[in-house]
Amino acid sequence: MATNAKISEKAQDEVRPLGTGGYKWLVSDGNVNMAMEPPPSRPITVDAEHQSVTMDLNRTAIVVIDMQNDFCAKDGWVHHLGVDFTPGRAPIEPLRKLLPGLRKAGVPVIWVNWGNRPDLMNMPPNQIHLYKRTGVGIGLGEPLPVGGHKVLEKDSWAAAVVDELKPLPEDICVDKYRMSGFWDTPLDSILRNLGTRTILFAGVNTDQCVLHSLTDANFLGYGCVMVEDCCATTSPDYCTAATLFNVKKGFGFVTKSDSIIRALPRS
């Protein structure tokens, strides 16, 4: 493979980068240079359990899961079911403090949300049953009584991120169709294209979609760090306790948003 040193001066003048992530080809009329140097490491060390974690800001991303109106807002699907949706709002303020610092440090922010097809053609009965246990009531893709918004349907108000956490244009959005954000989605491809090796996890529900996305990431070889105060659930407290125990025991590490903020570069 040709190196930069072997590319003619003329070719260097005409080099054009190809790629959308951290790794690119440098292409000219007469040469394709695949030997792009990786970005230099920018390590930070974060207090975590059971060990502190040193991560590279150039190879880290945060994945925020399901901070959607249906789970976290008045008149969403959880509220319609008569469940107290307010626990799901607990990550909002910590995320509002954490995300600007991560963006400033160049860490990609990836929003992973339920965003189902209107025809539900990729949703088998077992997934539809999760949201319509007895076959009656309002389930996936059906209109809510207030506003008529369709439950977790792509581009609906119900599936939108809550107003307090609207994604910015530079953020990345991924639709998901299962408890795991990796199943039948481009999330893994996007992360690999970015050169990501460490993933910070946030969102709802701690013991469901956050956990299952984190465990799949672990199986795929990523370093996984759950940001405890940026996660929440409407499940009983013992579900959170069991999730945190299992993450620390077998799937990664647990930290707090303040620990990350303290470790981020000041300039």
The C-alpha angle with vertex 217 and arms to 215 and 221, in degrees rounded to 5, equals 115
Q: Rounded to whole angstroms, how far apart are CA atoms 216 and 176?
A: 13
Q: Rounded to whole angstroms, how far apart are CA atoms 168 and 165?
A: 9
Residue identified by tokens 């303040």 is 258
243-to-202, 207, 235, 239 alpha-carbon distances in Å: 13, 6, 11, 6
Please state, as a whole number, how many other Cβ atoms lie within 10 Å of the Cβ of residue 46: 21
The helix/strand/coil state of 148 is coil
Q: Are 121 and 77 in contact (CB under 8 A)?
A: no
Catalytic site residues?
66, 176, 209
The helix/strand/coil state of 71 is helix
Tokens of residue 14, six digits: 């005409």
Phi and psi based region of residue 249 (left: phi greater than 0; alpha: psi -120 to 50; beta: remaining) = alpha
